[in-house]
Amino acid sequence: MPRKKENSRGYHQRKVNTREIRQRFLIICEGEKTEPNYFRSFRVSKNVAEVNVHGLGKNPSKLVKSANELNNQDDYDQVWCVFDRDSWTVEDFNNTIKNAETQGFKVACSNEAFELWYVLHFEFLNTGIPRNDYKKKLTYLLGRPYNKNSDTIYDELFEKQSIAIKNAKKLLKQYEPHNPEKDNPSTTVHLLVQELKKFMQ
């Protein structure tokens, strides 16, 4: 029997839909718990993908530097920087996007809070609301107090994930061309979610 080919990293190539699917993800998050807890919950098949998530608790400008350092140590296939508009300066926010793209990294950013992604699982929201109001809105939509650092939110929202993707795409279409710093509300989290979904069990 012929031996399986190995790629440059020594992984056996496995194919689904005629393409190699072994992927290594590095996801660097601005938040220490909210975003990391969500992305660590993806049930990605370990046979076809590896996902390393880091929550730094630092401002966006430091995410790219940390992503560079970690990627240089272990050469990932996809590197994502996840952060919010929050109250960061326009310069800090825009430079983070520019620097990430210059390094070949991908960006999943939200204006103005990551919780917008959660809301889109339930409804289409195209009117900006104060950051603090997302907690109230999600408490109503979930039917229980929203816990920002929940480690169960992924499972609670899983069945509505396709709705959130559809709503996020629809929202971005309203901003053409898209300006992440000004377009409130908006999010590109769905781009990362779609990539991870390709490797789900």
Do strands 78-84 and 106-111 pair parallel, antiparallel, or not at all (unpaired)? parallel
Mean pLDDT of the chain: 88
The total number of structural domains in the chain stands at 1
Instruction: Please classify residue 86 by burial: count the beta carbons closer than 10 Å to its beta carbon, then call 0-12 exposed, 13-18 middle and 19+ buried.
Output: middle
Give the per-residue pLDDT at 8: 39
78 lies in some domain: yes
Give the per-residue pLDDT at 1: 42
108: alpha, beta or left, given left = phi > 0 and alpha = psi -120 to 50? beta
Q: Is the pLDDT of residue 123 over 60?
A: yes
The answer to whether the beta carbons of residues 38 and 56 sit under 8 Å apart is: no
15 lies in some domain: no
The answer to whether the beta carbons of residues 186 and 171 sit under 8 Å apart is: yes
Top pLDDT among 27 and 4 is at: 27
With bands split at pLDDT 50, 70 and 90, how would you rate the model's confidence at 20? low
Least confident of 1-5, 53-57, 101-105: 1-5
How many residues are present in the chain? 201
168 lies in some domain: yes
CA–CA separation, 192 and 201 (whole Å): 17
9 lies in some domain: no
The CA radius of gyration of the chain, in Å to the nearest whole number, is 17
DSSP string, the chain: -PPPPB-TTSPBP-EETTEE--EEEEEEESSSSHHHHHHHT--B-TTTEEEEEEE--S-HHHHHHHHHHHHHHH--SEEEEEEE-TT--HHHHHHHHHHHHHTT-EEEEEES-THHHHHTTT----S---TTHHHHHHHHHHTS---TT-SSHHHHHGGGHHHHHHHHHHHHHTSSS--TTT-SSEE-HHHHHHHHHTTB-
Domain hosting 120: range is: 23-197
128 lies in some domain: yes
| Mean pLDDT for the stretch of residues 151-174 | 97
12 lies in some domain: no
3 lies in some domain: no
Give the per-residue pLDDT at 12: 39
Q: Is the pLDDT of residue 17 over 90?
A: no
**What is the CATH number for 106?**
3.40.50
pLDDT 10s digits, 40-94: 999 999 889 999 999 998 788 889 999 999 999 998 999 999 999 987 888 888 9
Give the per-residue pLDDT at 16: 45
